[in-house]
Every structure is written in C-alpha cells, then in structure tokens.
Amino acid sequence: MGGMEEKFKAISAADFFYRNREIAGFDNPVRSTYTICRELLENSMDACEAGGYLPDIYMRLRYVEGGALEIKVEDNGKGVPRRYVKRAFGQVLFGSKYTLRQTRGIFGLGGKMAVLYGQITTNSPVHVTSSTGGMEKYSYKIMVDIERNEPLTKQEVVERNHGQWHGTVVKLKFQGDYARARPKIVDYLRHVAIIEPYAQLTFVDPDGVLYFFRRKAGYMPRPPLEVLPHPQGVDVETVRRLAERFGQGSLIDFLVENFHRVGRRIALKFLRKARLDPDMDVVELLRREDLIPKLVKAMNEFDDWLPPDPSCLSPIGKELLEIGIKKELKPEFVAVVQRKPSAYSGHPFIVEVAIAFGGGVPTSSQGEVNLYRYANKIPLLYDVHNDVSMKVIKKVKWWRYKINPESMPIAFFVHVCSTKIPYKTVGKEYIADRPEVEYEIEWGLKEAARRLKTYLARKRREESLKRRRAA
C-alpha cells in the first residue's frame, strides 16, 4: 500500500484567484461582464473621492474582433503614482486599500481580477493611462505573470501632461455576454446614481445606447479618515505585530499610542482590572507565549473603552440621500433617517435608511419588495434573500404603520457604512446578520415608517376634507 507520493507545491496568490475566480464574481460570462464594469467603476469612484474631486466617470463597452468586448473606463480621480502603476494593475494583493478606513474595495482584488479575466479570455494586456496632475502623463500595457504574481510590462510611454490633467483611463478586452448582463449593469448604475448624486456618470453600451446620470449635488460627504484599531476588536496577531513594531517601552504607553481612543486614565483602569503591570516592558510581553492572548482577551471583554469614533466613516448624509432618491425615483414622499454611530466587535458603523412612497416609485410585483441595498456606497444586487435588510423587512409588522410593502408603491433604502462590512463572500453581495447592525436597520426603518404613516394620515384627512368641500 501507500500509492505514489503526493505532489506538493506552492502557488501564487494570482494563481489561486485565477483557479478560483468564481469566488470573486467571475463564474460565467454574464456575471463576469457585470463584475468587470462594477469593479472598474468602483475603483474610479474611490480615486475621485480620495482626491476630493466630484466624480465624472465615462464608461464605454464595445464589441471588438473575435466576439470579445472591450471596456474603457475614464475618471477624473487622483491618478495612480507612476511608480505604482504596474503593480497596482498587474499584481494581486497589492493596493492602497489595506488600511483601517472605509473604502469600497476592501479586498484590493477586483481591478486585478478584471485584468486577469481579460487576459485569460483574450490573451491581451490592459492599457492604463494615468496622471496625478503633475508634469507627466504615463501609459502602460500590462499583463500578469500569473504563476509568479508579477506584472509584465508590454509597453511604457511617458508624455507631457498638458493642462494638469489628473485621473486614470483603463481599457481592456474580455470574453463576456453584454446582452444578458445589461439589466444588472443598468440597475447597478442607477443604484450608484441614487447614493452618489454628486457623481456624473456616462455609459455608452455596445449597441450605442447612451445612459447618462446627471450630477445633482455640488458637494460630497466628508472623506473617511484612517484610525487606529479599537481595543475591543483586536486579535492576537494585530497586537503581536504592533508590539513588535513598538519594541521597548511600557505596556501603558503601548496601549495609549497604538489603540483607538485609549487615554492614560482608561488604560490604567483597564490594566488594573486585567491585573497587568502598567510598567511591564513590551519586550517581555512578546517573550511569553501566554501573555498576549491574556491581554487580548481582557481588551475584548473590557466594557469601559470609549466607543469607536465614526470619523473613519463616510456616510452619505440625509440631504444627499434625499437628493439622490428624488432625482432617480421622483417619489411623492420620502423619509430619510440617519442612525447614530454604533459598533460591532470594535468596528464602527453607521446605518442610513429611507422609505420612498408614490410618484415614480413602482408598486412591487408578486410579493417582492423594492429594496435598494448599499454597503460603503456599493450597491448590492445579488442574493437579496440572504441579506440582513431583507430579514428586517420581513420581520417588521408594517400594518402597524398602515403600510403594505407588497401592494403599495413603496421603496426601501438601506446603507451600511463601516470600516469592516461583515460580508459573507469575496463577491460582496450581502451582509451577514450581526445583531447590532440588524438593530440599527430595524429602528431606522421604523422611524421612517412612522413619518410615512403621519404623511399618509394627513393626506387622507386633506382628501376627505376636499371631498366634503366639493360635496
């Protein structure tokens, strides 16, 4: 017995995601077409907002030889610094999104997956032109060496950057299926236009149809700031890394300098409760295997930390959300609610919800409800039935508010923003049901429903008054 020996080998991160691309939303040509549009658009939105520029994004799809599609996405964002372009487009797990701050693309994968998918279906490189607004504008043709996870530069051109242009243009070919992906892509763009009324979006599809979403607001939400990790949410690995970087010094200084909203007073109170010596050297902490787990457990369980500061979050705000909803749906009535910041396991989050009624809002069909879901401004279009928002909508007793979401022209909007959205999959499709998040969504929707109830009651009174007067 024994058989032949197993073949052991290492594969690169690019190779892993190439082999398992379905987990990043590339399971078939239809889905891949949608995912590519979405990922490139989201990168563009992030690049604009990170630079403080009102987004103006142009996306074009067209058919090219061999039945393939070519996508071009052009933005007016801050651009990619020249020394990073090759790796930003040609190396998986390289990016600017590995910080504690609310960004759309937490996985730093999507753009590269689009490049990779284009390459494995058409064998052609991605074309990138970018500038950060300086003297140079640079263009590259890049492929990915999948087995090594390294960029392969096929062409490099540097020109003078006239007029201080800043932004990025990405162009790539891929085998897709636009005809069947169209409904999702258009639905996606409309979702974006609602939540980002300060963005101008132009999409020209392969049949030459133009979709134009006009900018209706001249300002953006305050951009998110980067923050230190909150002590309630850290794990052993995070603390170990921070301790190694800290080196020699006292435990109390370590806590105060490395964690979110930890002052000397609270740190001292915590250490006393955890029975740890404030003057212990951090080098000592690293020497003994059991000390960091003990410290982390105590940090996670301590109740008196200050709650996380939501400055690392960038909610839309009531005003912008209302502008967006009115612009795209033209409802008779809309109630927007922004909940106070909350947190789950040390990750701060804010829930914003809205209910729109009447006017251009369609009555939902066949027992479905109109639900627009967003996480960190990303529209979520798939797997609605697994999402926490749908769970809440099914739970609430709407008749108490004299509302029937299945027979009245009503649309719900839920936006969750957080430094860590509890996604269930890399494909970013739905939010897992953390009780804290569920609670905020529920009470937000109930508050909005109360306002709608008041509106409807007044409307009924006025109508009956009118009728009586007319009689």
Q: In terms of CB distance, is 103 or 342 closer to its own copies?
A: 103
Q: What is the DSSP string of 121-162?
A: HH--PEEEEEEESSSEEEEEEEEEETTTTEEEEEEEEEEE-G
- Residue 314 near its own copies by CB under 8 A: no
Provide the phi-psi class of 264: left if phi over 0, else alpha when psi is between -120 and 50, else beta: alpha
Residues from 419 through 438 that contact its own copies (CB under 8 A): 422-426, 432
Query: Which member of 52, 359, 360, 362 binds its own copies (CB under 8 A)?
Result: 52
101 touches 227 (CB < 8 A): yes
Size of the site for its own copies (CB under 8 A): 74
Q: The tokens 């639905």 sit on which residue?
A: 187
Q: Point out which span in 155-163, 202-210, 291-299, 463-471 binds its own copies (CB under 8 A).
A: 291-299
Query: Which member of 163, 218, 290, 470 binds its own copies (CB under 8 A)?
Result: 290
Q: What is the DSSP string of 248-309?
A: SSBHHHHHHHHSTT--HHHHHHHHHHTT--TT-BHHHHHHSTTHHHHHHHHHHH-S-SPPPP
Residues from 327 through 346 that contact its own copies (CB under 8 A): none
DSSP 136: E
CB 208 → its own copies: shortest distance, Å?
A: 25
Q: In terms of CB distance, is 108 or 317 closer to its own copies?
A: 108
Residues from 122 through 151 that contact its own copies (CB under 8 A): 122-124, 132-133, 146-147
- Residue 246 near its own copies by CB under 8 A: no
Q: Point out which span in 206-214, 235-243, 361-369, 454-462 binds its own copies (CB under 8 A).
A: 235-243
Bridge partner residues of 131 (DSSP)? 167
Residues from 69 through 108 that contact its own copies (CB under 8 A): 78, 81, 84, 87-88, 91, 93-96, 98-99, 106-108
Q: Point out which span in 44-52, 267-275, 319-327, 450-458 binds its own copies (CB under 8 A).
A: 44-52
Cα distances (angstroms) measured from residue 461 to each of 332, 451, 466 = 17, 15, 9
Strands (E), 389-453: 410-418
How would you classify the pairing of strands 200-204 and 210-213?
Answer: antiparallel
CB 415 → its own copies: shortest distance, Å?
A: 21
Q: Report the largest interatomic distance among the alpha carbons of the chain, rounded to a whole angstrom.
A: 97
| Position 404, amino acid | N
CB 228 → its own copies: shortest distance, Å?
A: 15
Residues from 384 through 423 that contact its own copies (CB under 8 A): 386, 422-423
Residues from 174 through 193 that contact its own copies (CB under 8 A): 175
Handedness of CA 31, 32, 38, 43 (dihedral sign): positive
Cα distances (angstroms) measured from residue 344 to each of 215, 390, 423, 438 = 34, 20, 13, 11
- Residue 27 near its own copies by CB under 8 A: yes
Query: Which member of 33, 43, 44, 119 binds its own copies (CB under 8 A)?
Result: 119
- Residue 293 near its own copies by CB under 8 A: yes
Query: Which member of 120, 274, 384, 396 binds its own copies (CB under 8 A)?
Result: 120
Q: In terms of CB distance, is 122 or 129 closer to its own copies?
A: 122
The two three-digit tokens of residue 428, written as one number = 């970013």
